[in-house]
A = this chain, B = another copy of it.
Amino acid sequence: MKQKITLKQIAKELDVSISTVSKALKDSEEISIDTREKIKAFAKFYNYKPNNIALSLKNKKTKTIGVIIPEIVHHFFTTVIGGVEKIANEKGYNVIICSSNNSFDKEVINMEMLASGSADGFILSVAKETQLKKDYHHIQETINQGMPVVLFDRVIDELVCDKVIIDDAKGAQTATNHLLSLGCKNIAILTTVDYISVGKLRTRGYFRALRGFDIEEKEELVLKIEDIDNCESEIDEFLKNKNVDGIFAVNELFAVTAAKILNKQNKKVPQDVAVVAFTDGILSKHFIPSLTTISQHGENMGERAAMLLIDKLEDDETVAEEYRTVIIDTSLVERQSTKKAD
């Protein structure tokens, strides 16, 4: 018996991208007819089962939710899964998790795999690479074929489906306002490159807060960090010779790293520089000084996403065409890193 061939193997054999194979099998007009025919013939010869979800799954519920996250070694995403698990358990669903590892190809492969019989629907936060490529055909096709998808955190505006987000800009504004209300005048932001949607939105909220206090926006106070794993040297270089009195970091790792660098530069947190971070994780709680944060309520986010998905899975066709966007409230968790002397 011939072994079942995978999407990846077809791509490799024919020397095309996984995206091309995936699109060709779905008869996308983006791909030339020649290529489409070649890929389809090859897939047929090797018994590749294209992903005709709507047909095959109508009568075959797996009672399983597929969750695809960009990173697995990431506290926020695991707390969201915790929330999904909680609701799924209550409602009698299993949860299967895959990590795209921020790779577009892996996201496509995982989706294809789970869609072909392992899961009834998806809860998804898209990979960095997918955001960069702006190629969402795999998600769009899954939706078209009648499989419900709920996007969370890193969502795609163009896709019409249920979404669970936080108001990143508003959360960032709250964080920056907190620093401003403490009297900070020279507030730096440590953020990510622009194609990460949450980084961009949080930067927007930071600017909005400054404008609200009539404080000039200075490009030199914005650091866009490219490589999160090696943020230390970038932050170190950035903070040199800058007389900041407040820092808003879009994640807790940037905040902790900045606090340590300030310490080496003989600046005290919070006395000389107040620090606020987005994401309320274990680092913020246990760091000394403990960090004031914007909590994203990851578990709550997961719970709401699971509810939306299960609603869709169990609803009649009649109401299946309604899509909701749930905005989870962020909240300011005040700790020592912004405690100015009384």
Q: How many residues of A contact B (CB 8 A)?
A: 44
Cβ-defined contact, A59 with B1, below 8 A: yes
Known: A85-B99, A85-B101. A4 touches B61 (CB 8 A): yes
Interfacial residues of chain A within 70-92, with CB under 8 A of chain B in the complex:
72-75, 78-79, 81-82, 85, 89, 92
- Is A287 located at the chain interface by the 8 A CB criterion? yes
Q: A296 within 8 Å of B by Cβ?
A: no
* B99/A98 in contact, CB under 8 A: no
- Which residues 55-73 in A have Cβ within 8 Å of B in the complex? 59-64, 72-73
A320 adjacent to chain B (CB < 8 Å): no
- Scan residues 6-28 of chain A and give those whose CB is less than 8 A from a CB of chain B: 6, 8-9
Cβ of A315 to closest chain B Cβ, rounded Å: 15
C-alpha gap A106/B88 in the complex (Å): 12
In the complex the two chains form, what is the Cα distance from A109 to B85 in whole Å?
Answer: 13
- CB pair B98–A97 under 8 Å, yes or no, is yes
State the CA gap A99–B84 with chains docked (Å).
11
Closest to A99 in B: B85
Nearest-neighbor residue (CB-CB) of A64 within chain B: B113
Instruction: Select from chain B the residue with minimum beta-carbon distance to A81.
Output: B72
The residues of B that contact A92 with a CB separation of less than 8 Å are 6, 8-9
Task: Assess whether A256 is interfacial by the CB under 8 Å rule.
Answer: yes
A72 and B59 in contact (CB under 8 A), knowing A92-B9, A283-B286, A287-B286?
A: no
Q: Known contacts being A92-B6, A97-B96, A256-B286, is A79 close to B85, with CB within 8 Å?
A: no
Q: Which residues of chain A from 271 to 314 have a CB within 8 Å of any chain B CB? A: 282-283, 286-288
Q: Is A146 an interface residue (CB 8 A)?
A: no
Q: What 4 additional pairs, Cβ within 8 angstroms, besides A8-B92, A89-B106?
A: A73-B81, A94-B110, A117-B118, A286-B287
6 tightest CB-CB pairs across the interface, nearest first?
A: A97-B97, A73-B78, A118-B118, A1-B59, A72-B78, A288-B288
